[in-house]
Amino acid sequence: MAGEAKIDPMHQFMITPIGSDTLAASPFQFTNSSLWMLIVFAAILAFMWGGMKRQIVPGRWQVAVEGMTGFLDNITRTSIGAEGRRYLPWVFTAFTFILFSNWIGAMPFAIVPGAHPFTVTSQFSVTMFMSVLSFAIVLGVGFWKRGLHFFSLFVPKGAPLPVKMFVAPIEFVSFMVRPFSLGLRPFIAMFAGHVLLDVFGNFVVQGLNAGGPLGYAISALCFVAVIGVNALELLVGAIQAYVFALLTALYINDAVNLH
């Protein structure tokens, strides 16, 4: 019989120090979050290196790697145009990091005793940092390429002056909201999904603890629900990575091509 379940769906988002007893407010503090970032990095490296045989007739792994780079190359080229390849490294970095974080966070590593999986992208401090980076690239490219002309992005072309006066502030606000919406989206998806998984998982254990036909029935039902939510989590994890990459490419397109 499982032990008394502690219902704290937030516990999984706690950052705990590794190698020291208490968290220090220092950039070099190594935490479980840092550890899982490095695991994500290692997984990406392993995946990409596995596809580096560079054969003319590719194997399965190479096809997977080429499929992913081709997919992202396609996003940047269709969104930005011929210049898109310059921005592929960042779009690739953002996509793979979010995708691998989401998926590795959804893996049942906790089945190994002592392992505490951690979803890096369930921290808005991480996703916001990435969206601000994307936004900084947009601003940097925009002002470097267009100078102060970049502000014409907010003015609708061909509209009469009163409409311009009215729309430009709205456009400006919507532009400034972009980094928040871009960073909150993957965070919310992972956060909500993992809370849901934790709650349903707790129901499975609590049903078993309660015993009786009703308890077992609830337990079984919630187990099926956990499987379904997990599948959904994998889908959402991929979609969020895609959305982040696509929006980053579209925002960069605004800066490169100005409308």
Partner 1 sequence: MPQIAQLALVYQSQWFWLLVVLAGIYFFVGKGIVPKVEATVDNRDATIAADLAAAEAARAGADAAEEQLRANDLAARGNAQATTAEAKAKAAKAGEVRLAKAEAKTAKLLADAEARIATSRSAALASIEGVAAEAAAEIVAKVSGAKVTAAAAAKSVKAVLANG
Q: State residue 72 phi and psi, 5-degree precision.
A: -70, -35
Selected range binding partner 1 among 111-119, 126-134, 140-148, 244-252, rule: CB under 8 A: 126-134
Q: In the complex, what is the shortest distance from the CB of residue 175 to partner 1, in angstroms, rounded to a whole number?
A: 24
Distance between CA atoms of 100 and 238, rounded to whole angstroms? 9
* One residue of 1, 26, 113, 161 binding partner 1 per CB under 8 A: 26
Selected range binding partner 1 among 67-75, 110-118, 170-178, 214-222, rule: CB under 8 A: 67-75
Distance between CA atoms of 19 and 29, rounded to whole angstroms? 9
Q: What does 164-220 look like in DSSP terms, one character per residue?
A: HHHHHHHHHHHHHHHHHHHHHHHHHHHHHHHHHHHHHHHHHHHHHHH-HHHHHHHHH
Judged by beta carbon, residue 88 or residue 258, the one nearer partner 1 is 88
Binding letters toward partner 1, positions 36-65, x by CB under 8 A? -xx-xx--xx--xx-xx-xxx-x---x--x
Note whether 123 and 237 are within 8 A (CB).
Answer: no
Write down the residue that tokens 């928040």 correspond to.
180
List residues binding partner 1 (CB under 8 A): 10-11, 13-15, 23, 25-31, 33-34, 37-38, 40-41, 44-45, 48-49, 51-52, 54-56, 58, 62, 65-66, 69-70, 73, 88-90, 92-93, 96-97, 120, 122-126, 129-130, 133, 187, 191
